[in-house]
Amino acid sequence: RFETLAVHAGGHLDETTGAVAPPLHLSTTFGRDALGNPVAGHSYIRDSNPNQSSLETALAALEGGAAALAFSSGMGAASALLQALPAGAHVVLPEDLYYGVRAAARDYLSKWGMTWDAVPMHDLAALREALRPETRLVWLESPSNPLIGITDLAAATAIAHEKGARVVVDNTFATPVLQRPLDLGADVALHSTTKYMGGHSDVIGGALVFREAGLFHEEALHARHILGAVASPFASWLVLRGLRTLPVRVERQARTAHALATWLETHPRVEAVHYPGLPSHPGHEVAARQMSAFGAMLSFRVKGSREETLAVSARVALFTRATSLGGVESLLEHRATSEGPGSTTPENLLRVSVGLEHEDDLRADLDQALAG
Ligand code: PLP
C-alpha cells in the first residue's frame, strides 16, 4: 500500500555498516573491475549515482511508473522532457501553468526548432482544436499554478492520445498521495520535488516518472546525462527522506486547507476563493473524481485593490510571506509581485501554501490580517 511504499521504497539496510538510515555517497566516480566494467553499476556521477538511483526507485513506486528520473530542479525535469522531443515538434500548454514552464516555452522552444500554443485546458474542445499532426506533447497541470484550476486528466489524455501526442502531467500540487496521473493514462508525471516531496523547504529537485520505460524515457535520460541537470547525492538523500512522511503530511495539510478555504469563502473581505474542494469551484466534480482529497494549495482574491491586498499580506504574522510551497510551514504570497512584469495573475490574488500548523492558529492569523 502507498503508505508502506512511502516508508520503504528505495531503502534497504546498509550491508557494510547495518545503518538503517541510507548512507550518503558523495563519490563522483566509481571503480571498475579488471575488465573495465563498473563494479556496482555506477560509473560517473552525471550518468548515475547511488543516492539518485535510490530516490528514483522510490519515485517510480509512488507514482506507479515503470521508470523515474531525478533532476536538479523541477525546471531541469521540464527542460529535459522538452529536449527529448524532436525538432519540428508542436507542444500544447495550458493557459494557467507554472510561469517558469511558460517562460521556458516562450524563450527556448523556437530556438530548439519547436512551436507551441496555449489553451484553456478545462475546455476540452479547445484542446482538440489545438492539436496538429506534428503535436508531440500535451502539457497538463492540475491543480494549476496559481489559479488552482482543474483539468479532466483522463479526458484530456484520451484526446491527446487519439492524435498521437504524449501527455505529461505536472503533479507537483497534488502529489501521488492525492492523484495518480499515470493510472489515468498519462505518459509522464512531473514533479518539482522542491515542494511536497522534499517537504521542508530545504532542497531543490525535480522528477519525471514514466508509465513505460521506452524511447521517451531514454531520450529524457540522454538529455539529463549530456546536458547535466542531475540531482546531487545530498539533494536526492533529502528528497528520499521527505518521501518517508509524504502521505501523513499531505493528508493533514489538505484537510487544513479544505477547512480554511471553506471559512475564507464566507469572509466578507474575500471576493473569491480558488480551491477545488469547494462546490463553487468550476472543477469541483472533476477534482472529486480524480483526486482523493483536494490538496493544500489555495488562492483567494481580496475585495479591493492591489494596495489593499498587499496590506493584508503585510499583516500576516504566522504565515510567512514567501514564494514556493509544500513545506511544513504555511506560506502566503502576492503572486503577481513574485511573477513580475508580464504576470497575468490578478493583482488582488494571494496564494497560500497550507503547512502543518494548527488550523485554528492559521485561521486566526488570516482573520486578523483581513480585518486590518
Ligand atoms: N511546477 C510547479 C507546479 C511549480 O510550482 C514549480 C516551482 O514553483 C515548478 C514546476 C518548478 O520547480 P523548481 O522550482 O524545482 O525548478
List the beta strands (DSSP E) in 99-154: 115-119, 135-141
| Active-site pick, 96, 170, 187, 365 | 170
- Name the one residue in this structure whose C-alpha cell is 486528466: 153
Distance (Å, whole) CA 232 – CA 230? 6
| Active-site pick, 46, 128, 269, 306 | 46
Nearest CA to ligand 1 atom 13: 74
Q: What is the CA radius of gyration of the chain?
A: 21
Give the residue, out of 139, 142, 145, with the most ligand 1 atoms within 8 A of its beta carbon, to mutate for a pocket test: 145
* C-alpha 195 to ligand 1 mean position (Å): 8
| Position in ligand 1 atom list of the atom nearest CA 76 | 16
| Position in ligand 1 atom list of the atom nearest CA 101 | 10
* C-alpha 77 to ligand 1 mean position (Å): 10
DSSP string, 44-95: BTTT--HHHHHHHHHHHHHHT-SEEEEESSHHHHHHHHHHTSPTT-EEEEES
* C-alpha 191 to ligand 1 mean position (Å): 7
- Name the one residue in this structure whose C-alpha cell is 546536458: 227
* Annotated catalytic residue 108: no
To the question of pTM greater than 0.85 for the whole model, the response is yes
Residue 159 has pLDDT above 90, yes or no: yes
Residue 349 has pLDDT above 90, yes or no: yes
Give me the pLDDT at residue 16, please.
93
Least confident of 101-105, 181-185, 191-195, 342-346: 342-346
Give me the pLDDT at residue 343, please.
87
* C-alpha 190 to ligand 1 mean position (Å): 10
Cβ atoms of residues 239 and 55 within 8 Å: yes
Could you give the 3-state DSSP secondary structure of residue 368?
helix
Cβ atoms of residues 10 and 209 within 8 Å: no
Could you give the 3-state DSSP secondary structure of residue 108?
helix
* Annotated catalytic residue 98: yes
* C-alpha 158 to ligand 1 mean position (Å): 25
* Annotated catalytic residue 289: no
Report DSSP state, residue 109: I
What residues form DSSP beta bridges with 331?
Answer: 320, 353
* C-alpha 205 to ligand 1 mean position (Å): 9
Nearest CA to ligand 1 atom 5: 98
* Annotated catalytic residue 195: yes
Do you know the residue count of the chain?
372
Could you give the 3-state DSSP secondary structure of residue 12?
coil
Residue 339 has pLDDT above 90, yes or no: no
- Name the one residue in this structure whose C-alpha cell is 566494467: 37
Helix (H) or strand (E) holding 256: helix 246-264
- Name the one residue in this structure whose C-alpha cell is 495518480: 180
Helix (H) or strand (E) holding 370: helix 359-371
Give me the pLDDT at residue 342, please.
83
Could you give the 3-state DSSP secondary structure of residue 312?
helix
Residue 206 has pLDDT above 90, yes or no: yes
Distance (Å, whole) CA 245 – CA 255? 16
Nearest CA to ligand 1 atom 2: 98
Give me the pLDDT at residue 58, please.
98
Q: Which residues line ligand 1 (CB under 6 A)?
A: 73-75, 98, 100, 141, 145, 170, 172-173, 192, 194, 204, 206
Helix residue ranges per DSSP H, 122-245: 124-130, 153-162, 175-178, 215-227, 233-244
State pLDDT tens for residues 287-306. Answer: 999 999 999 999 999 999 99
| Position in ligand 1 atom list of the atom nearest CA 78 | 10
In whole numbers, what is the pLDDT of the chain averaged over residues? 97
Q: How far is CA 45 from CA 77, 96, 127, 219, in A?
A: 17, 36, 40, 19
State pLDDT tens for residues 244-260. Answer: 999 999 999 999 999 99
